[in-house]
Structure 1
Amino acid sequence: MTSDLTIVVATRNRRDQLLDLLPRHAAPVIVVDNGSDDGTPAAVARAFPQVRVVKLGRNAGAGAARNVGVALADTPFVAFADDDSYWAPGSLERAAELLRAHPRTALLTGQVLIGREGRLDPISAGMAQAPLGTAPGAPGPAVLGFLACAVVLRRAAYRQVGGFAERLGTYGEEALLAMDLAAAGWRLAYVPELVAHHLPAATDRDPRTRRRIEARNRVLTAALRRPGRVVRAVVAETWRDPAGRAGLADAARELGWVLRQRRPLPAAVEADLATLAAAEIDVARPAPAPAG
């Protein structure tokens, strides 16, 4: 067990799966509960008294829950896991070692294996193509996106950029954080020897509602950081789906916040995003059914 890393798990109403996976976590754990009504906080506290459990009392979204966990951690590094994921043995120790050895790197994202059979997540396959190359002295190929259940972060860098934008809630909240870390001069790297197992649970969450939220967050993220031509392209693409049109309407209601928070990306980061788009590699897709 590594002593300079904390695992933050955001959860909502997945008590049984969380209880099943918590023993697999090889570092101190903070569980942040997003208003579960299935007894999750009490069950975790009874079964795992060494785990710190934080009850938010409402569904604040996965990003907000992770922000709370990072604020409470007292280690230099933080790993995220969902309530349906865990890190393979040795991955977190190796991640901490790499972050110590690469002080300009803020985020390491690992290889994601899906299900009991361990299928490679398509995002991991895309990252392995390394369209942005590998900077000299970097721990792995550069990336500009990640799945939240498969990252280990430098806590100071995360807090420097403000963590996740809590207004984005859940679904697609990772993209903005990746951009902000890169804009602040930090490196983000894909390291396939770090392995996260993702075991998506059956869910009764409405897929149309999810598409609506994803569309809203794509538009908001573009409007917050990308040039006008990109924003227009994102809006045009989003309009094709009825759920996307509903997401656009939701995004429009956030216009005041966007105008206050808009900070165009540095040219180098925008160029990297254009490279990824040309390669048709989407490394900012949200993970299936994250907590929240």
Structure 2
Amino acid sequence: MTSDSVTVVVATRNRRDRLFETLPEHQAPVILVDNASDDGGPEEIATAFPAVEVVRLGENIGAAARNEGVRRAVTPYVAFADDDSYWSPGSLARAAALMDAHPRLALLSARVLIGPEGRLDPVSVEMAAAPLGTPAGAPGPSILGFLSCAVVVRRAAFLEAGGFQPRLFVYGEEALLAMDLAAAGWWLCYDPSLTVRHFPLPAGRDRGARRRIEARNRMLTALLRRPAGVVARTVAAAMREAPAAGWDVARALPWALRHRRLLPPEVEQDLVRLSAPPA
């Protein structure tokens, strides 16, 4: 089963070999947005997969590359995939049908199976057990976070919310978008009948750099949307984890304060519920 209502947007950088493995698995039109790769991948992909629309960016803009793919899509719904993931057969058609049936639904998150053995991603376990309940008439439990490689979004809602914030670059960029979609009154739901297969490579990147970016993004996201007390606690915890991230936040502080906009009380209450320790 495929759907002509969904476009798959893949953001990539220097992952040519992985793309040759995953692109044949997609069951919808694909827009590949390349973050200034220098491995010759975009040219090879364009030759090997002429049906794939390849967009080559002049610089690496991280997760915001997906925004360009969404802008170019002409379908009402967009599924995100990483260069090491794809949606299982039938999932996109079901997601499109659910979006059609629920006009308040902006984002559907699938369960994620990792590796050849199909291990359930712990994030999927957490989503299934999220304490926010299911809104009346919604197709699944409410969530306020997601994995970018495992969601289908309503294109209009995504663009209205501004997409992924370029300042956050990568690592934890999903949180701000989830907050803004919920603040605009949209539903974000988890549906385990939708499946994404994910085949990540063994960790080999600079873990210290990743911790610093993740800590920076947690602090900036709190500064942009959360009350002062939450900001203070978030900054204290993040600084313990990655002290150098404080310099990054200090440089971005004027920008963050200019764009600070507190969430509606009901969304903030849901975030508090999600952060509370289990009873």
Do they superpose with TM above 0.5? yes
Secondary structure, counterpart of 2:142 in structure 1: coil
Q: CA deviation at 1:92?
A: 0.3
Partner of 1:288: none
> For 1:191-238, what per-residue CA distance to the aligned partner results, in whole angstroms no more than 9, with x for missing partners?
000111111013542111011100100000000000011011111111
> For 1:225-254, what per-residue CA distance to the aligned partner results, in whole angstroms no more than 9, with x for missing partners?
00011011111111212xx11112101110
Q: How does 1:90-109 map to 2 (within 5 A)?
A: 90-109=90-109
**Could you tell me how far apart the structure 1 residues matched to 2:17 and 2:58 are?**
19
**Could you tell me how far apart the structure 1 residues matched to 2:120 and 2:102 are?**
27
Q: CA deviation at 1:279?
A: 4.3
Structure 1 residue 120 and structure 2 residue 120: aligned? yes
Partner of 2:61: 60
Deviates more, 1:135-144 or 1:195-204: 195-204
Letter in 2 for 1:19: F
Q: CA deviation at 1:80?
A: 0.1
Q: CA deviation at 1:59?
A: 1.0
User: Of 265, 268, 272, which aligns to 1:270?
Assistant: 268
TM-score, structure 2 as length reference? 0.98
**Could you tell me how far apart the structure 1 residues matched to 2:202 and 2:129 are?**
31
Q: Are 2:33 and 2:66, in contact at CA under 8 Å, matched by a contact in 1?
A: yes
Q: Are 1:118 and 1:197, in contact at CA under 8 Å, matched by a contact in 2?
A: yes
- Taking only the aligned residue pairs, the percentage that are identical comes to 63
Q: CA deviation at 1:129?
A: 0.8
**Could you tell me how far apart the structure 2 residues matched to 1:10 and 1:84 are?**
10
Aligned residue pair count: 277
Letter in 2 for 1:110: A
> For 1:53-81, what per-residue CA distance to the aligned partner results, in whole angstroms no more than 9, with x for missing partners?
0000221112x110000000000000000
Secondary structure, counterpart of 2:244 in structure 1: helix
Q: How does 1:113-152 map to 2 (within 5 A)?
A: 113-152=113-152
Partner of 2:72: 72
Is there any run of 5+ residues in structure 2 with no aligned partner, and where? none
Secondary structure, counterpart of 2:243 in structure 1: helix
Secondary structure, counterpart of 1:117 in structure 2: coil
Secondary structure, counterpart of 2:32 in structure 1: strand
Q: Are 2:130 and 2:274, in contact at CA under 8 Å, matched by a contact in 1?
A: no
**Could you tell me how far apart the structure 1 residues matched to 2:230 and 2:71 are?**
33
> For 1:9-38, what per-residue CA distance to the aligned partner results, in whole angstroms no more than 9, with x for missing partners?
000111001111101000000000001111
Partner of 1:8: 9
Is there any run of 5+ residues in structure 1 with no aligned partner, and where? 281-292
Higher relative contact order, chain-length normalized (CA < 8 Å, sep 6+): 1
Alpha-carbon RMSD across the aligned residues, in angstroms, is 0.9
Partner of 1:249: 247
> For 1:163-199, what per-residue CA distance to the aligned partner results, in whole angstroms no more than 9, with x for missing partners?
1111110111000000000000000000000111111
Partner of 1:284: none
Q: Are 1:131 and 1:279, in contact at CA under 8 Å, matched by a contact in 2?
A: no
Partner of 2:220: 220
Secondary structure, counterpart of 1:182 in structure 2: helix
Secondary structure, counterpart of 1:140 in structure 2: coil
Letter in 1 for 2:29: P
